[in-house]
Amino acid sequence: MLKNKTILVTGGTGSFGKKFIRRILQEEIKKVIVFSRDELKQYEMKQEFKDARLRFFIGDVRDQERLYRAFDGVDIVIHAAAMKHVEACEYNPFEAVKTNIYGAQNIIEAAIDRNVEKVIALSTDKAAAPVNLYGATKLASDKLFVAANSYVGEKHTKFSVVRYGNVVGSRGSVVPFFNKMKETGRLPVTDERMTRFWITLDQGVQFVLDNLRRMQGGEIFVPKIPSMNIIDLATAIGPECEIDIVGIRPGEKLHEVMITHDDARHTVEFDDYYVITPELAWWGNKMHGGQALSETFEYSSETNVDWLTKEELKIMAGEFLE
């Protein structure tokens, strides 16, 4: 699938981008382009990777002209660039709109006009029934990428979305925060009832690669992943620490949902993932197999059937702990 292909990763210097690029450099790709706006991170990544197939392109997804230049000759785009910190989006709302929504549309326009073969956009569990601006912008982004398949015309670009939960050890995540705070002997927890979906970077990368193969264009792919309780995570990382309940932050949920009741009507289930299919006339029935879900189904971190134990949480977070 990747042999002799040119792959571009927006947000390529981020946690996912670096892990994804390290993985695909093991394949017989032609080249991989890192598209991001931080020259220092690009310089550091260049020193770390040292691969002749790696290219670095300074640019912002808000800049459509720059994307047109970057996408020249590109076969596959992985769109991982986003403003994703909930509080930052709440206090800088239109900046989030410009990056997450306008940026998504710029990616779509450039991909179609430059004859990119496939585009996968990374989404988040916060895009389902959003209560914060970050989730709302990512929901809008998801809708744009699904609908983009409607107006490719005679071009052959396909767009799909991958939606998953919290990533262990990603930049700004709770694991490195707890790891740092445990030195004080106290860990701040927003609410002891809070649950989250949990996935490793390696699992996220593999899920994207799997869906590059299976995508028809228009799907939102959702992996079956375990849930964790925030108290279990805190006590796994700092078993001797006292827990301080500090209250839910602006725009935060108690539990996350990746498939809502309304989405369930047009979602099919496979052994280890779900596919939310488009409610658009052109879709038809492109999925091969899969089991239809009940209209009352909801994929929530609170009611998930798969839960991580404290021991499993500690193993998953191990590489990020001192």
Nearby residues of 233 by Cβ (< 8 Å), 6 or more positions away: 174, 175, 178, 313, 317
HSE of 78 in the Cβ direction (CA atoms, 13 Å)?
31
What are the DSSP calls for 106-147, one per residue? HHHHHHHHTT-SEEEEE--GGGSS--SHHHHHHHHHHHHHHH
- Beta-bridged to residue 121, according to DSSP, are 79, 161
Catalytic residue from among 5, 18, 118, 126: 126
Taking the C-alpha atoms of residue 205 and residue 199, their distance in angstroms, rounded to an integer, is 10
Q: How many CB atoms lie within 10 A of CB 157?
A: 20
Catalytic site includes residue 126:
yes
Asked if residues 109 and 66 have their Cβ atoms less than 8 Å apart, the reply is no
Catalytic residues: 126
